[in-house]
Chain A
Amino acid sequence: MTSPDPVVWLAIVFAGVGTYALRASFLFLFERFGDVPDGVETALEMVPAAVLSALVVPAVVAPEGAIAVIGNGRVPAALVAAAVAWYTESILATILSGLVALIVLGAV
């Protein structure tokens, strides 16, 4: 089920204000605080890999909540797409190859 309307709107407003604060942070505070501490910078560099993987892997391996590898077409389709992403670094090619693989595997 989709979240109720007020939740959707509040999520948009809070995420929007929070994201703006993240973007504005050092552009406005640089004079006062100087550079980001090295430790924090290292952690921030890890954010994309950790978060994206936390989004991708469950959506592929456990689309219904429980881990399901056998008979789950998303697993081979994602492997095909990952290989395409590796070689092409193209978002479009990755999406298309993954979708085509899933459709073909579903038809087999």
Chain B
Amino acid sequence: MSVKIVYFAWVRERIGKTEETLDPPAGIVTVADLAGWLAQRGEEYAYAFENPQIVRAAIDHEHVKPDTAIAGAREIAFFPPMTGG
């Protein structure tokens, strides 16, 4: 299942990419699985996800928890806690 993954703020800077389309293996079921799989992809990813409980996620523009299934997602986002307003 190929999915678009987008990154924001310091997650984006650490990974060095704004977005990419990846095809996670079948065993990657949840958002937490995906973050763990990404963290294995290289030093820049490991750095972005060094503190995985801090990194927030959204699926198709809605906030999700780490145990949310990624099946059917069109766009998954990873970003730091928000600081707008």
Do A and B come from the same complex?
no
Residues of B within 8 A of A (CB): none
Residues of A within 8 A of B (CB): none
